[in-house]
Amino acid sequence: MDALPPESESKDVVLLTRPDCHLCQEARDVVERVTASLGVGWAEQSVVGAPDLLERFAEELPVLLINGVQRDFWVIDEARLRKLLGG
């Protein structure tokens, strides 16, 4: 079976957040804007109720994961995200 060309590969974009986090809201806005313009889906996951994620990322939230790899944290850079998603 042939591999898909890079431009057609699906990106798994996940934003890890916590409630009442102003940086999380700013990151959410950037991720929504960029993914919508590129036609890429994304998901948000709160670390509340996920002790393993809270322990690992507590000091870095929000955290952006793409295909399971941490790509950014605290402030999500719009241009960098666009480039990471191939846009």
Per-residue tens of pLDDT for the chain, all 87 residues: 334 334 445 689 999 999 999 999 999 999 999 999 999 999 999 999 999 999 999 999 999 999 999 999 999 999 999 999 997
Return the exposure string of 51-80: e unless at least 16 CB atoms fall within 10 Å of the residue's CB, then b. Answer: eebeeebeeebbbbbbeeeebbbeebeeee
> What's the pTM value of the predicted model, to 2 decimals?
0.86
How far lies 65's CA from each of 1, 17, 36, 62, in Å? 28, 11, 17, 10
- The fold adopted by the segment(s) 12-82 is Glutaredoxin (3.40.30)
Contact 19, 25 (CB under 8 A): no
